Amino acid sequence: MSVATGCVRRAFRYRFCPTDAQAAELSRTFGCVRKVYNLALAARTEAWARQERVNYNQTSAMLTAWKKTEELAYLNEVSSVPLQQTLRHLQAAFTSFIGKRAKYPRFKSRKRSRKSAEYTTSGFRLRDGELTLAKMREPLDIVWSRPLPEGASPSTVTVSQDAAGRWFVSRLCEDASVKPLPANGNAVGIDVGRDHLLTLSTGEKIANPRHERRDRARLALAQRRLAKKAKGDGTNRGKARHKVAKIYARIADRRRDGLNNLTTRLVRENQTIAIEDLTVRNMVKNRSPARAISDAAWSDFRSMLEYKAAWYGREVIAVDRFFPSSRLCSACGTLQEKMPLNVRTWRCDCGTTHDRDVNAARNLLAAGLAVTACGAGVRPQRSSPGGQSATKQETPRREP
């Protein structure tokens, strides 16, 4: 999803049911894409060790040579478009690594890596609502769950299969209907939590759906059955693994749908949104709250909030994680020395009784508005098209 060209580029994903021949062709394509990516990465890694750089054009020439060898002649059996695209993806990965925006690219695993193949306009045909991929005679049987934007023409088509065995086709289009919303002047501070997913500075509390807990018993049973299957028993173990993947997919779908609805509402209702810049990656290292934090999906919430804010002309401000939002009185500014996690309400010396989460949300809002008013102390924490970070406050300890 991009707004760099002034027009939002959105990916529209649909389910489809391939025939046996199409499934076999796509599976071969996924394998070839993974093979080419790993071969190119190995070649570039060897060159990197020699302090040499290999670019996309050189790996493309390598691909041509690989196809002529007897060992890799099977690469000619699939469309060349996804193979070229995976080399472009590898080039983008190295560009991000050299720019210190990402780690060094890793090899793709047959079992753990995402199964996908990307086709450009030369690799697919879209006619009368039917999508046909290169090397295939019949169009895909796609469930068109929603229409594309009027006049939109997909620039790329990505076919993928998830761990649950479901097939998806994603079409990347420019959506001219997504435009900045009229400014309304509303601002809100948001404090995330485990008991309540979100607490707003307005006093509203949004319950945590706890999607994983709803299916925990069923998931545990499926995982126990999987653990009892011998690793050499491919058929039975594969079936058990598939059942576990289906439960995980159902949990993820519910979580994604809920977060999409919630973030869309917040962006439409508010011009400025202040959140806390939490390091979720470090927080889940603590085994006690890790499961609940992962189920709440705070990182996904922030990502959705930021790209939707960029779409609709809103502003998301990330207040530094060391800001004592819970210990600071939002009425008089008095800072409490300690605030254990089991204290949910507290009374300040000024006579104000605070709900811990509501008070934190109000303090986050005040800190965020200070940034928009005077631009004081903007400290970049995370690159995003729609967000910025407020300054680090003078406090010796992190506030949970």
| Angstrom distance (rounded) from CA 31 to CA 108 | 10
How confident is residue 40, by pLDDT bands cut at 50, 70 and 90?
A: very high
The answer to whether residue 103 scores a pLDDT higher than 70 is yes
| Angstrom distance (rounded) from CA 187 to CA 150 | 33
Residue 53 half-sphere exposure toward CB, CA atoms < 13 A: 7
How confident is residue 120, by pLDDT bands cut at 50, 70 and 90?
A: very high
Using an 8 Å Cβ cutoff, are 120 and 130 in contact?
Answer: no
pLDDT at 177: 81
pLDDT at 384: 43
pLDDT digits (tens, 9 = 90+) for 280-301: 877 887 777 888 888 888 889 9
Q: In what order do the strands lie in the sheet with 187-192?
A: 205-207, 196-200, 187-192, 272-276, 315-319, 387-389
pLDDT at 379: 43
Counting beta carbons within 10 angstroms of the beta carbon of residue 124, is it exposed (0 to 12), middle (13 to 18) or buried (19 or more)?
buried
Nearest to 325 by CA among 400, 268, 378: 400
Residue 119 phi, psi (nearest 5): -115, 135
pTM (whole model) above 0.75: yes
pLDDT at 36: 96
| Angstrom distance (rounded) from CA 357 to CA 344 | 8
Highest mean pLDDT among 57-71, 335-349, 382-396: 57-71
How confident is residue 111, by pLDDT bands cut at 50, 70 and 90?
A: confident
The answer to whether residue 391 scores a pLDDT higher than 70 is no
Residue 37 phi, psi (nearest 5): -60, -45
Residue 178 phi, psi (nearest 5): -85, 110
pLDDT digits (tens, 9 = 90+) for 298-328: 889 999 999 999 999 999 998 888 888 888 8
Average pLDDT over residues 31-47: 95
Using an 8 Å Cβ cutoff, are 364 and 189 in contact?
Answer: yes
pLDDT at 25: 95
Measure the CA angle with vertex 76, ends 70 and 158; round to 5°.
140
The answer to whether residue 70 scores a pLDDT higher than 90 is yes
Average pLDDT over residues 166-173: 93
Domain ranges within the chain, ordered by starting residue: 8-175, 187-207+269-389
How confident is residue 160, by pLDDT bands cut at 50, 70 and 90?
A: very high
How confident is residue 348, by pLDDT bands cut at 50, 70 and 90?
A: confident
pLDDT at 399: 37
Q: Residue holding tokens 């009185």?
A: 329
How confident is residue 41, by pLDDT bands cut at 50, 70 and 90?
A: very high
Residues annotated catalytic, as ranges: 191, 276, 357
pLDDT at 392: 38
Token pair for 162: 């998830």
Question: Where is average pLDDT lowest: 35-49, 76-90, 149-163?
Answer: 149-163
CA 147 to each of CA 50, 151, 173, 314: distance values in angstroms, whole numbers, following the listed order = 51, 11, 12, 26
**Residues 6 or more apart from 96 whose CB is under 8 A from it?**
102
**Residues 6 or more apart from 301 whose CB is under 8 A from it?**
192, 198, 259, 262, 263
Percent of the chain exceeding pLDDT 70 equals 91
Average pLDDT over residues 63-85: 95
Using an 8 Å Cβ cutoff, are 365 and 186 in contact?
Answer: no
CB burial readout 92-119, b (16+ within 10 A) else e: ebbeeeeeeeeeebeebeeeeeebbbbb
pLDDT at 56: 94
The answer to whether residue 45 scores a pLDDT higher than 70 is yes
The answer to whether residue 359 scores a pLDDT higher than 80 is yes
The answer to whether residue 79 scores a pLDDT higher than 80 is yes
| Angstrom distance (rounded) from CA 302 to CA 137 | 43
Mean pLDDT of the chain: 86
pLDDT at 338: 83
The answer to whether residue 394 scores a pLDDT higher than 50 is no
| Angstrom distance (rounded) from CA 212 to CA 296 | 9
Question: Where is average pLDDT lowest: 87-96, 210-219, 281-290?
Answer: 281-290
Question: Where is average pLDDT lowest: 207-221, 314-328, 375-389?
Answer: 375-389
